[in-house]
Chain A
């Protein structure tokens, strides 16, 4: 598909990384459910293991179907390549484990998915990696938190659950001034709403379980590298700029000027930790990506209608959607997210916890479960579920109260969603009476 510029987003969503199958002519991406791939000869085997040639050996490290997903997401994000993982959490762990070890330090936004907060605050601390949490908009706080042993800055494009918009241009500049990369979780936005690399981020990951797959059927993650961070120029990353005894003394930044991170992440992290993606999962996520732009447009359109409805309802104390003028990230959202702020947001119900319970249990179209980014609309109470490990102080820092309810707006008819919410709010009101 040669031309004078790269194809557009929708074309890449359908074609990047895959053409007609050269063996069978199959037009859709075939699912290569094979653990291993036959060597042509002993020399061929040795050269694959030594990275003298590109190819597939064992599906924990790479697989033809999974590679299509990796190339496609990299194309949509504007990156140099990607690694598919067993979950979004595995992608986050792979990014950190490639750059940090015992004694390392991370500066992170405090507005995180509960599982990510737990990984950083508790689990990685057991392995000697410490984290300083900073409110996403507190730029001076980010600057002050950087130490000589810091290895990366990390935040979510839209902080969970208050949707604080991460100031990627400012934070990436701060990171680069200190020889550090900025890692961004772009799960809630997808590359359709924002490409963090265009604003200076160095690494992006997704829980592909959410909008990329879009149908609530699979669990997976994708880690993408922009190729723009110069690991060799920073003195903080000997893992990438010095010989690695774990892989033939390879100096990854010499092997690939723009792909050093991904080479090490695949040759060490994926090989040794083993959190790989099944080719079947990759195929399902590819199916989702083929309609990503269509779905995201509808997700955002429905979310805007629901936000407008809730913002004017008497039972609602506040709605946390950055397109609303009162949101702390309103101006930044207009700058970084002109296509919309996704369809996952929270609102605070007036009343007590019993009323919140009545609201959730009265919903019929919304499903009460722990997920977001499904084509179906979803609801959850963060304080008692996704963020239940956090104490009140941490909850407050993340902008969560006992009355906070999170919605993930799906692709149903907007009027049916509004009817469902209206009925549930009435049920909550009745409990108070």
Chain B
């Protein structure tokens, strides 16, 4: 559905059902160079199983007009305002990769209004190699191919997503290329470099974790090369989070759609504080 946040039109996918703010609400935040559609299977399932879903397109991504937020903190403030614009009082926050950092900051800002926090493929700090940032500036299509290859652990993840017959590497590459092209066309510049710089520059993760009041869960990929599971220990400890590790790479929602869904759903089933 379309919403107005900061006087700009933005989009949030509601899982194929009309949004009902009276239901337990789950807000999904995508990662770098992504949009709401990376959550297709998780959001559609939850929306048809008693939840209100808001899978946002961050500004400058997908159907939300740009420019993109300048920092993780700014993106979190935007998410908080979007939640208010949707008439939601309390919400569970789920984020992937860069979106997990935004989810962390959002939950910290919401305080008691955040019911659950789920961080998928997350770590802190989320440093990006200078070589990748440099490639992102000079050869963004090459950088897209690099990140795409690093994000997948398999050439044959089954049953694929959002349906059989989809080639996950190709879908992810096409989405990143589409967003990069649209961002350039709209005059805002290099989205790839912008998004990965946001990850790299975020320094307040542990402080934010200290301000989170709800229960937290990390869902990690055993073969994740972008945010290796073993590097998430400090963040998990700061959040007192429990961890689930799935047989997947960084693109967990595509490579292990049911595992991610079950990880979120079982966590949401825990009583709200």
Contacts and interface: CB of A to CB of B under 8 A. Distances in A.
Q: Which of A1, A7, A226, A256 has the most chain B CB atoms closer than 10 A to its own CB? A: A256
Q: How large is the interface on B (under 10, 10 to 19, 20 to 34, 35 or more residues)?
A: 35 or more
A54 B161 contact: yes
Contacts of A18: 155-156
Nearest to A257: B37
A70 B37 CA distance: 21
A94 to B, nearest CB: 13
A19 B155 contact: yes
Interface string B91-125: 00000000000000000000000000000000000
B44 to A, nearest CB: 5
Contacts of A68: 156
A385 B44 CA distance: 51
Contacts of B48: 47, 50, 52
Contact of A71 (B40, B44, B160): B160
Contacts of B66: none
A418 interface: no
B204 to A, nearest CB: 30
A78 interface: yes
B257 to A, nearest CB: 6
B41 interface: yes
A266 B164 CA distance: 10
B165 interface: yes
A335 interface: no
A1 B155 contact: yes
Nearest to B18: A249
B164 A62 contact: yes
A376 to B, nearest CB: 31
A349 interface: no
A248 interface: yes
Contacts of A248: 16
A258 interface: yes
A258 B178 contact: yes
B178 A228 contact: yes
B156 A16 contact: yes
Contacts of B73: none
Interface in A64-95: 64, 66-68, 70-71, 74-75, 78-84
Contact of B164 (A5, A16, A54, A79): A54
A320 B18 CA distance: 59
Contacts of A67: 158-160, 164-165
A230 B169 CA distance: 19
B178 A257 contact: yes
What DSSP secondary structure best describes chain A's contact surface? loop
Contact of B162 (A2, A232, A256): A256
Contacts of B150: 2-4
A228 B164 contact: no
A56 B159 contact: yes
Contacts of B21: none
A81 B164 CA distance: 9
A81 B249 CA distance: 20
Contact of A227 (B152, B163, B171): B171
Interface of B: 13, 16, 35-37, 40-41, 44-45, 48-49, 62-63, 145-146, 148-150, 152-156, 158-167, 169-171, 174-175, 177-178, 223, 225, 249, 257-258, 261
Interface of A: 1-7, 12, 15-19, 47, 50-56, 62-64, 66-68, 70-71, 74-75, 78-84, 226-228, 230, 232, 248-251, 254-259, 262-263, 266
CB-based closest 3 A-B pairs: A227-B174, A81-B166, A70-B165
20 contacts: A2-B152, A5-B145, A5-B146, A15-B156, A52-B44, A53-B45, A62-B163, A62-B165, A64-B158, A67-B165, A71-B160, A71-B166, A81-B171, A227-B178, A232-B63, A254-B13, A254-B37, A255-B44, A255-B162, A259-B37
Given A17-B156, A250-B16, 4 more contacts: A12-B155, A15-B155, A74-B170, A256-B162
